[in-house]
Chains A and B, each alone.
Chain A
Amino acid sequence: MRAELAPSTAYDDLPYTRGGDVDRADVGALVQSAVDGDAAAWKALVEGLSPLVWSVVRAHRLSDADAHEVYQTVWFRFAQHLGRIREPQKAGSWLASTARHECLKVLKSLRRLTPTDDPQLLDRVSEDRTPEQSLLDSEEAAVESERVRHLWQEFEELGDRCRQLLRILMASPPPSYQEVSAALGIAVGSIGPLRQRCLRRLRARLEARGAV
Chain B
Amino acid sequence: MDEMDDDETFDEAAYDGQDADADLLEEELRRAAGILDPVPAQLRQIAVEAYALHDLDAKIAELTFDSVVDAIPVRGATDVPRMLTFRAGEVTVDVEVTGEGLMGQVLPPQQASVEVLSGPQTGAPLTTDDMGRFTYGGSPAGPFALRLRTGREAIVTDWLTV
Contacts and interface: CB of A to CB of B under 8 A. Distances in A.
Contacts of B66: 105
Nearest to B22: A199
Interface stretch (A8-16, A68-76, A86-94, A181-189): A68-76
Contact of B143 (A58, A76, A81): A76
B76 to A, nearest CB: 12
B10 to A, nearest CB: 4
Contacts of B159: 73, 76-77, 80
Contacts of A159: 3-4, 6-7
Interface in A33-81: 34-35, 39, 42-43, 46-47, 50-51, 53-55, 58, 66, 68-73, 75-81
A139 interface: no
B41 interface: yes
Nearest to B145: A76
A209 interface: no
A43 B48 CA distance: 6
B161 A169 contact: no
B79 to A, nearest CB: 8
A190 to B, nearest CB: 11
B4 A161 contact: yes
Nearest to A202: B25
Contacts of B10: 200-201, 204
A107 to B, nearest CB: 10
Main secondary structure on A side of the interface with B: helix
B156 interface: yes
A108 interface: yes
Nearest to B157: A80
A121 interface: yes
B68 interface: yes
Interface in B5-57: 6-7, 9-10, 12, 15, 18-19, 21-22, 25-26, 28-44, 46-48, 50-56
Interface of A: 34-35, 39, 42-43, 46-47, 50-51, 53-55, 58, 66, 68-73, 75-84, 102, 105-106, 108-116, 121, 124-125, 128, 130, 132-133, 136, 148-149, 151-152, 155, 159-162, 166-167, 169-172, 174, 195-197, 199-204
Interface of B: 2-4, 6-7, 9-10, 12, 15, 18-19, 21-22, 25-26, 28-44, 46-48, 50-56, 60, 66, 68-69, 73, 78-79, 82, 97-99, 119-120, 139-145, 156, 158-162
